Amino acid sequence: TMIQRDAKMTFAGSDEPCCFIKVKSIGSLKPSSMSKTFCDLIASKTNIKTDRIYIEFTDVKASNWGYDCSTFG
C-alpha cells in the first residue's frame, strides 16, 4: 500500500479532490464487483466523491510477480 498525499492532480479538468487507485493481484480480481466497494470505502473515509475516483485493475500472471528471489509461478 502506498498513499501519496498532497499530489497535484486534475481530473476532468478540475482540481477538486480526486483519487487514482492501482490494484494488482494474481488472478483474483473481479473489477465489476470490486469497483463500487473501493469507491464507497474511499468516499466514506475522505472528502472525495465517487465520481472523482479512478481505479486501474491489473491481473498479473504469477510468473510475472517476484518475491524472495523467485516468482509465484
- Give me the pLDDT at residue 43, please: 96
CB distance 17 to 44 below 8 Å? no
- The C-alpha cell of 26 is what? 494474481
One digit per residue, the tens of pLDDT, for the chain of length 73 reads 788 888 889 989 999 999 999 999 998 899 999 999 999 999 999 989 999 999 999 999 999 989 999 998 8
Q: What is the pLDDT of residue 28?
A: 85
Between CA 73 and CA 64 the distance in angstroms is 8
Euclidean distance between CA atoms 63 and 54, whole angstroms:
27
Cell 476532468 appears where?
A: 12
Q: Where are the beta strands (DSSP E) in the chain?
A: 19-25, 53-59, 66-67, 70-71
